[in-house]
Amino acid sequence: MSWKLMIHGGCGAMRPDSVTPEQEEQARAALHAALDAGETLLGAGGSALDAVEAAARVLEEDPSFNAGRGAVLTADGHAELDAAIMDGTGRRCGAVAGLRTTRAPVSAARAVMEHSPHVLLTYAGADHFAREQGLEQVANEWFKIAVREAQLAKVIAAGGGFDSDIKYGTIGAVAVDSAGHVAAATSTGGLTAKRWGRIGDSPLIGAGTYADDRAAAVSATGLGEVFIRAAAAHELCARVRIGGEPLQAALDGVLAEIVALGGNGGLIAVAPSGEAAWGFTTPGMYRGVAGPDGREVAIYAER
């Protein structure tokens, strides 16, 4: 059986005329680097779980995306980070939300899965657990970049409401390994100017992240509240496992439901067979796919 890796760096209002050549070049380079990290493991017979963590770590470190360094800022000017990881074998999973000092949220999520009796840890407790696990800690200032501070100022000046030019820069990775096991990982900074401890779909198993060897591995990006209402990632897997739908048809059906509920976003998915699918309802989505037969990286709808 052949392996497959898919990644995304978020979707949203980006168009060729709204992204500078330098921004596009950096984003594409990061997508290739993330594919390199996962491909090295999968090509050597490694696990899907290791591959999605490795790919996500690369994207968390790149400020082109809303995850890790370069995450958007809360209304009070902090970065608060969410992540989840799930292994389709036995449906083991772990998640964190509201991290402020842990450099690699996706690795913190994996530590929750492997070294705690829980699935989801949040805020100061999650950072404390990550420190106990020996994960690198940084000052919250390390995550901040000037463009995110400018975005926050713009949203607050407009009254703190929804930004129609928003880019959901959540990052994610899904993979199937040569043994036919799937895994998924998702990481995000959430929404600009979020308040009240808001948590979106990314760290919620079944909403923004899900993996099941009986169906598929899924990672989402978009308006989290709607993906939560739709239980989007699990819904996609249920359409495949119970409804018998082809993977792409199931993904398209879930996105249609997201739109019907008033949301927008994108999904990536891989099946144990190696079949892969992606889709989005916005002008663009940073995305890439790699397998033994080559790779593709794209941003806009027209690729």
Q: How far apart are CA 139 and CA 197, in angstroms?
A: 19
pLDDT of residue 59: 98
| pLDDT of residue 128 exceeding 50 | yes
Q: Residue 268 is encoded by which pair of tokens?
A: 């990536």
Question: Token pair of 101, please?
Answer: 């000092």
Are β-strands 92-99 and 120-122 bridged in parallel, bridged antiparallel, or unpaired?
parallel
Taking all residues of the chain, what is their mean pLDDT, rounded to a whole number? 94
Mean pLDDT of 112-128: 98
pLDDT at 18 over 90: no
Would you state the pLDDT for residue 163? 52
Residue 302 has pLDDT above 70, yes or no: no
Q: How far apart are CA 235 and CA 13, in angstroms?
A: 25
pLDDT at 270: 98
Residue 303: is its pLDDT beyond 50?
no
> Side chain identity at 124, as an amino acid letter?
A
pLDDT higher than 90, residue 164: no
What token pair was written down for 216? Answer: 């598929």
Q: How many residues does the chain have?
A: 303
Output the six-digit token pair for 73: 């800022």
- Band (pLDDT 50/70/90 cuts) for residue 139 is very high
The SS3 of residue 79 is coil
Q: Does domain 4-300 have CATH number 3.40.50.970?
A: no
* pLDDT tens, position by position, 55-74: 999 999 999 999 999 999 99
**Nearest CA-CA partner of 81 in 112, 102, 54, 64:** 102
Task: Give the tens place of pLDDT for each residue, 183-238.
Answer: 999 999 999 999 999 999 999 999 999 999 999 999 999 999 999 999 999 999 99
b/e per residue, 233-256, with b = 16+ CB within 10 A? bbbbbbbbeeeebebeebbbbbbe
Q: Are 96 and 111 a contacting pair, CB within 8 Å?
A: no
Of 74, 89, 170, 282, the catalytic one is 170
| pLDDT for residue 124 is more than 60 | yes
Q: Is 170 annotated as catalytic?
A: yes
